[in-house]
Structure formats: C-alpha cells, structure tokens
Structure 1
Amino acid sequence: MFGYVRPPLELLPQAETDRFRRTYCGLCHTLGGRYGPAARMILNYDFTYLAILLSDPAETEPCRRRCAASPLRPRAYQPASPALELAADESVILAWWQLRDGVEDHGFWKGLGYRSGAAALKRAYRKAAASRPDFDARVRRQLAALAALEREQCPSMDAAADTFAQLLAAAADGVGDPVRRRVLEQMLYHLGRWVYLVDAADDLQKDAASGNYNPVALRYGLRNGRWDEESRQAFAKTLDHSIHMIATAFELWDFGVWRPVLESTVYSGLFAVGRAVLEGTFHKLPPREQRKKHKKAEETT
C-alpha cells in the first residue's frame, strides 16, 4: 500500500484514537508473531485500516506488553484474532508485490532499496502466499494486467485504476458473511481506485522526469507533470466520486465500535489527503499544518 489512507486522529476523541492505536500495535505484534521481525517494517496506517475493516464489530479485551517501540512502558494492543491474521497475511502479500513492482520500475542503483526490502520479506511472502493462495493468485493476475496496460501505454485512466481496484477488492474474499463481504468488496474496490489515482497524481512530476507510465498524465495531456486548472478540477471530481462510492457502501453495514475511525477517514481524511496531493503539499506539511488541512476538509465536506 501507499500511505494515503490516513484517519484524522487529531479530530477524534482520545478514546477512538487509543482504539486505533491498539489495532495498529496489534497488527504489528501479529505480523511479528506470524512472520518475524522483518515483517514489522511493512506496518502502516493503510494496513491498519484494512485490519479494522476486517474486524468484528466489538473490540476484544486488549493486552499490554513492552516492545521495541516502547521498551520502558507497556503498551495496550489488540491480541491476535482471525481479522488481524487475515490482514497480516494480505498485507505481506500486497507489500511483497509492491516491492517487486518497484524493482521492475527502477534501475539497479535506484532499485536497491526495493531489492533489499523484497529480500527481507521473501520468506514471509512465501508463508503468506501458502496461507492465502487465492488472494495471492488474484493479486498476481491483476498486476499482470496492469503491467500489460503499462507496456502498451494505455491512455485509459479508468482501465488502469479498475485493475488495481479489483486487486484491493480481493482482500474481502476471506470474509465469511456474504452481505458483509459484498459491502467490503465495494468499499475496497473504490478505495483501491482512489489510492491508485491519488498515487498517480502524486507521482506526476517524478514520472514526467523518468518517462514512467502515468495514466493520469495521459488522460489529461499534462506536460512536465503540471496541472492546468481545468484538468485539476476535473480530476478532483473523479477522486471525490470514488470517496462518495466508498461512503455509500460504508453506510450499508454496522461497523460497531470501529465506526468513528472509519467514518472520519471516509468523510474527512481521504478528502484532506486528496487535496494535499493536488496542491503539491502532501509530503511537505508539518504535523500542525496537516491538522489544519484535516479541519478545513471536515468543515467543507
């Protein structure tokens, strides 16, 4: 995943922030327990969000322990559960293929970081793929389809985004309840579409310099990775449509105690991140300014 799915924790009550952090720590412990210390390096908010989506409506009783991140004071965390284990397995598979994609897209020297990360995660990936072979196979198929679009320089932004969206929707395949599975498939499909498009927009200037495939640049005929105002506004509407579709699916299910953090991400966090990417400030804002962006997004959505 890419680091764009960020709940605006500063807008949430402390109890909800603590709940999110317990899941974040729980996923870290689950990754470490199932795959060893190297797997913990892939932990991020995106995968924590996936774990919450897959979790039962009620939170289980948390545990407390010290860890490398908090060696002096024990931290509360969610113990391993079927949802956390599923999220951990799928996170390893997604991270592995993201690293392999980075290896393919970069030369030897620029790709060293991706190669070292893939090497560190290789054993974990093999174990995760053995545990979730159907998910791994679907990820492979969708990435192969995406690679084909890249080779032919397909100008269809929607075709490329759909390929990645279907990949992420497959993360719901392990959910037993058919209605809940359908809801999560829809949420994850449109979230995948949004993530792919935001990432492409974030990489516009980098891809323009390197010559890498970027369907957003091709769709809008952008030169040097720079927006014109008409194209920027049209693209913002496309991003907002994906968020509205996520919200539509979200309202069809009772997410229990997780509703506040999921709701704030859908209705505030994604809008704020999209705006920051389009303004070119996503990687530049200090924490205080990030909070202001989130508050502005909440006031206008």
Structure 2
Amino acid sequence: MFGYVLPALGELPEEEKLRFRSVYCGLCHTLGRRYGIASRFILNYDFTFLAMLLSDGQEPSCQACRCVASPCKKRFVLERTPALELAADESVILTWWQLRDGVADHGFFKGLKYRLLSLLLRRAYRKAKKLRPEFDRSTREQLQILSDLEREHCSSMDRAADAFAVLLSGAAGEVPEEERRRVLREMLYHLGRWIYLIDAADDLKRDFQDGSYNPLIYRYGLTEGTLDPDSRRDFSITLDHSIRLMASASALWDFGCWSAIIESTVTRSLFYVGGAVLDGSFRKKRKKETP
C-alpha cells in the first residue's frame, strides 16, 4: 500500500511497542520465507496493521532471533500464523497491482522503475495469485473501475475512493468467522477510502504539475496544485469522517492483544497523519520513523 497507517509508538507503553515490533518482524520473516528475500522490501506499516486486523487476538508466540535487518541485536519475532501468511499473500498482490498501476500511469522512462520492480516481484505475485485467487480477482476488478474513472477525469472523490475502499475491504474475505469478517470489511472499507484520499492530497502538487489524474483537482476546480483554506477545511472533514466510521466499526469487535495498538492507530495516528499531509510536513516526518 502507501505507508500512511503509522502506529503511535511514542504514546504506547514498552510492552505494546515490543508487541508491534514482533508482528512487524514476523510479517517480514513470513514474506521472506514464502516469497524470498526481495519480497521483504515491500514491508511497511500498512501491511503490519493489516496483519494485526487479520489476527485472532490471541497472545502470539514469539522467538528471539537475528536477521539481515538486525544482524547484531536479537529481535522478538512473531512465529508463523495463518494471519501472517494471509497478510503476506495479500501484501504481495496489492504491491504487484500498485506497481502495474505505476507502469500504466507513467511514460516509458518514468515507468522504468515500476517495470523493474514488478519484474522482481513477478514470481512472488504468481504464487500469491494461486494462493488467493479471489482476492486477486476482486483487486483487478476494482482497479479497472478506478482506471475507467481516471480516464474520464471523474470529479467525484467518493466514486474514485469507493473503488479503492471496496478493493481493500476484500482483504477480509478469507476471515473464517462471519461476524469478525463483517467488522473487518467495514473497517477496511473506510480505511481504504481514507488511504486513497490522503494519498491524493499527498500527491496533489506533483499530479498537478505532471498533468496526472487527481480527483481533488476536479472536485475543487484547482488552478494551482494546492488547496485553498476553505477547500482544505472541507477536505479535512471528509478525511476525519472516514476515520470516525472506521473507529465505530472497530468498537464492534475485541481485538485482544492488539486492541491497544489498533485503537491508538485509529483514534490518534490517522488524524495526526491527515493533518501532517495537509500542512505539508508528513513526508519529512515519515523518513524519521523506525519500526
């Protein structure tokens, strides 16, 4: 995905920080075990958050080990679980189609990096596609809808964001319990909507300069690559509404050992990230984050 779903690690007690790092490292190891070392480079906080949502909430078993990323200091690593494997498979599929979207959206030279990265991930994607064919199918369908909207320069933020929201909600499709699956679909839908819109805001200036599609340009009739104060205020309300709906859905389920991290992310971090993107400080701060 995009790297916007950051945990509020600075506000969490040490026990929760260690728990988060264990699932972060666990997902990294799962990606490497299932898809090779190169696949570990797709790891980000978004996929780690997805892994926590997909987990059953039971206290996980961990082991202390060293790895390429931490050769000197042992880290606690969450042992293999079905949720980690599902999150790893879906992460590969989401990254693959994000790269292919990059190839389609850029010319030959600007698209070279996307072609190269998708080439490196192609074998992993083919394996993930066989393991999770329904998620791959639904992802392709929603991306085609989004592509059609981009071609017609759709001015509706809701229509464009809905396609990505439906796409991400499909990540809950293999959760076995019906009630938990419904809750996760609702959470992931509103998270997907928020991610799409915050990414559009983050890329606004660049998209305006490049002439690339961005729904904010058409929704607010922008003649420059920035939102004026009234538009920013209106857009901020839209972002916050998605977060609140996600928080309401999350209250319907007990996420067990992951509850504190998920609650902190939904009720505080996403609001913070939204404000940072809108005031232009997000990218600088994001580079300083460490797992």
1:298 corresponds in structure 2 to: none
Pairwise mapping of residues 124-203 of structure 1 onto structure 2 (< 5 A)? 124-203=124-203
* % identical aligned pairs: 60
Following superposition, the deviation at residue 140 of structure 1 comes to 0.3
- Deviations along 1:61-116, one digit per CA (max 9) or x if unpaired, are 20122110111222110011100000000000000000111111112222121111
| SS at 1:227 equivalent | coil
1:295 corresponds in structure 2 to: none
Q: TM-score, normalised by structure 1?
A: 0.94
Distance 2:276 2:121 in 1: 31
Q: TM-score, normalised by structure 2?
A: 0.97
1:73 corresponds in structure 2 to: 73
1:245 corresponds in structure 2 to: 245
State the one-letter code of the partner of 2:167.
L
Task: Note the aligned Cα RMSD (angstroms).
Answer: 1.4
2:219 corresponds in structure 1 to: 219
| SS at 1:77 equivalent | strand
Distance 1:153 1:252 in 2: 37
Following superposition, the deviation at residue 59 of structure 1 comes to 2.1
Distance 1:287 1:268 in 2: 19
Distance 1:70 1:260 in 2: 26
State the one-letter code of the partner of 1:273.
V
| SS at 1:107 equivalent | coil
| SS at 1:280 equivalent | coil
| SS at 1:285 equivalent | helix
Pairwise mapping of residues 268-279 of structure 1 onto structure 2 (< 5 A)? 268-279=268-279
- Deviations along 1:116-147, one digit per CA (max 9) or x if unpaired, are 11011000000000000000000000000000
- Deviations along 1:151-200, one digit per CA (max 9) or x if unpaired, are 11111110000000000000000100000000000000000000000000
2:120 corresponds in structure 1 to: 120
2:106 corresponds in structure 1 to: 106
State the one-letter code of the partner of 2:236.
A
| SS at 2:80 equivalent | coil
State the one-letter code of the partner of 2:250.
F
2:97 corresponds in structure 1 to: 97
Following superposition, the deviation at residue 205 of structure 1 comes to 0.5
52-61 or 133-142, which moves further after superposition?
A: 52-61
State the one-letter code of the partner of 2:148.
A
Distance 1:104 1:130 in 2: 24
279-288 or 55-64, which moves further after superposition?
A: 279-288
Following superposition, the deviation at residue 286 of structure 1 comes to 7.4
Distance 1:274 1:148 in 2: 27
Distance 2:223 2:45 in 1: 32
Distance 2:286 2:85 in 1: 33
Gaps of at least 5 residues in structure 2 are none
Distance 2:107 2:166 in 1: 28
Distance 1:60 1:164 in 2: 31
1:14 corresponds in structure 2 to: 14
Distance 1:287 1:68 in 2: 21
Distance 2:82 2:286 in 1: 36
| SS at 1:284 equivalent | helix
Following superposition, the deviation at residue 284 of structure 1 comes to 2.1
Gaps of at least 5 residues in structure 1 are 291-301
- Deviations along 1:206-245, one digit per CA (max 9) or x if unpaired, are 0100111111121111222111111100000000000000
Distance 2:230 2:84 in 1: 43
State the one-letter code of the partner of 1:241.
H
Pairwise mapping of residues 18-57 of structure 1 onto structure 2 (< 5 A)? 18-57=18-57
Going from structure 1 to structure 2, the CA distance change for 1:66 and 1:182 (only over 3 Å counts) comes to same
